[in-house]
Amino acid sequence: MPLQINTIRGQIGIRTQNASQSIRNFQGEQKIETTMPKVKIKSEKPRVIIDQYQCFAEAGLKNNADLTKDMVEYAKMKHKQMIDTIVADGNRMANIKNGTPPAIPEIAEKNARGPEKQFRFGPMPSSRPKIEVEGSLDISWEMGKVNISYTPRKPQITYNPGKVEVYLKQKPSIDIQYVDTKR
């Protein structure tokens, strides 16, 4: 039996569309506010006070009130010493009757010589001056401030998904025919 078979193969078609994505970024908004720090400096100029009065007084250079006061004290002391000397000399002369040597030549010799002189060597002046420093420095400050605020912005994203489309481009077919060979 003669058969004739004709086949047509099926064909598949593929159509694609690529995916696409776009991203747009926007800058966020930032604000910075500052307050400057403040420094306050309050100063009183320094003054050096030097008191040399004691040094000058030791050298004999005194003011009138102190000099008068010292002279009064010295006069009182000398007055008391003189009274003590007169009393001692009078008592010495009163002892003549006890058989002691004559007192008048002894007293005259003592008064003729005078007091012994004394010398003192040392630094002049012997005390130091008083030194004071007055003045001040006051520093105060206020801290500064920084305020930062930031507002983010979201990106804008657009996405188109891709597609893959499969379709039948040509249908398959089979054609079977009987062929008569007798002809």
Q: Where are the domains of the chain?
A: 57-128
CA atoms of 86 and 79, how far apart (whole Å):
11
Residue 99 DSSP SS3: coil
pLDDT grade for 59, boundaries at 50, 70 and 90: confident
CA atoms of 21 and 160, how far apart (whole Å):
6
pLDDT at residue 125 greater than cutoff 80: no
The predicted pLDDT at position 107 comes to: 82
Each residue's pLDDT tens digit, 65-113: 988 999 999 999 999 999 998 998 888 887 777 777 778 888 888 878 7
108: amino acid identity, one letter:
A
Buried b (16+ CB within 10 A) or exposed e, 148-168: eeeeeeeeeeeeeeeeeeeee
Per cent of the chain over pLDDT 90 is 44
CA atoms of 176 and 183, how far apart (whole Å):
19
CA atoms of 79 and 107, how far apart (whole Å):
19
- Residue 54: alpha-carbon gap to chain centroid: 40
Q: Which residue has the tokens 């007293």?
A: 107
Q: 70: closest CA among 114, 61, 130, 119?
A: 61
CA atoms of 115 and 98, how far apart (whole Å):
29
Handedness of CA 96, 101, 106, 108 (dihedral sign): positive
The set of residues, in sequence order, having a beta carbon less than 8 Å from that of 90 and lying 6+ positions away, is none
Q: How many residues does the chain have?
A: 183
pLDDT at residue 1 greater than cutoff 70: no
pLDDT grade for 128, boundaries at 50, 70 and 90: confident
